[in-house]
Amino acid sequence: MLLNDYINENYPNLNLRPPLFYNWEIGIRFKLGVEWDGEYNFENSTYVQGLYKRAVMLFESLHSQDEEIFVVVDVDDFGNGKTFKHKARIFSPYVYEKSILYKLKHAEIPYVFPEDDEDGKCKTHRFTLKCKASDMKYISLLKAVCNQDLGIQPSIFHRIYFINIKRKTIFHVYDDRGCDLIATFPESIRDIYSTYNDWILDYDKDEIDKVFK
């Protein structure tokens, strides 16, 4: 099954773009970094290690090692002449076997933030890899996503979504502050809601509770 077919079947009318939580009626928004301080922006700080731990624990609770997933990477093209044919290299450091990259799919799609594209020059390059969770060095990948605003290397600024094909969940770490999890049915993520309830973002907690109560 291709990504578009999967999304259309399970998430009709979903625009795969942040903020996922506000784009779908069944979801949870978690906070990752806690008690941020500008002086904590180094890898071994309590803040950074804490947000890494939360991101990895949520991922592993959602994805069994042998489950098939789509890993989706959106790369923005601002029409400035840069080529994106080599952007697939973003996957290379985060897979165990380079041969799996032959499965990588690329599609050029309309810019996912059209409201920010007055001149109509922008577009989005969407890279999709269908694999098992165990094929990915997901801990390193999650850390790189979390690092994007912290000045810590390696860092990834592109948007990355993990889609569990069987469980029908979409997981997106947007930066060190937090992550979104959406699902087709509340029951499929009720265990995550219960186990990590203390991590739910306070601002949205009342709305989230209504979905599961």
Residue 9 forms part of a structural domain: no
Report angle CA 71, 211, 52 to the nearest 5 degrees: 40
- The pLDDT, as a whole number, for residue 81 is 55
Task: Report which secondary-structure segment, H or E, holds 69.
Answer: strand 68-77
* Percent of the chain whose pLDDT exceeds 90: 81
Range of the domain at 106: 25-212
The model's confidence at residue 169, banded by pLDDT at 50, 70 and 90, is very high
**Residue 61 to residues 28, 67, 75, Cα–Cα distance (Å):** 14, 12, 27
The pLDDT value recorded for residue 90 is 84
Cis peptide before 93 (omega within 30 of 0): no
- At residue 82, the pLDDT reads 59
- Position 89 scores a pLDDT of 79
For all residues of the chain together, what is the average pLDDT? Answer: 92
Angle between helices 46-62 and 138-146 (to 10 degrees): 130
* Predicted confidence (pLDDT) per residue in 155-166, tens digit: 999 999 999 999
> Does the residue 134 lie in any domain?
yes
Is 183 domain-assigned? yes
In a domain, 6, yes or no: no
In terms of Cα–Cα distance, which of 41, 72, 46, 34 is closest to 163? 72
177 occurs within a structural domain? yes
Q: What is the pLDDT of residue 120?
A: 83
- On whether residue 32 sits in a domain, the answer given is yes
- The tally of domains found in the chain comes to 1
Given pLDDT bands bounded at 50, 70 and 90, which one contains residue 79? confident
Question: Would 2 be classed as within a structural domain?
Answer: no
Statement: residue 118 has pLDDT above 90: no
Taken as a whole, the chain contains a residue count of 213
Closest C-alpha among 22, 76, 43 to residue 208: 22
24-49: average pLDDT: 85
pLDDT given at position 88: 62
Spatial distance between the Cα atoms of 163 and 28, rounded to a whole number of angstroms: 15
Q: Between residues 182 and 86, which one has the greater pLDDT?
A: 182
**What is each CA distance from 29 to 48, 137, 177, 198, in whole angstroms?**
19, 24, 10, 11
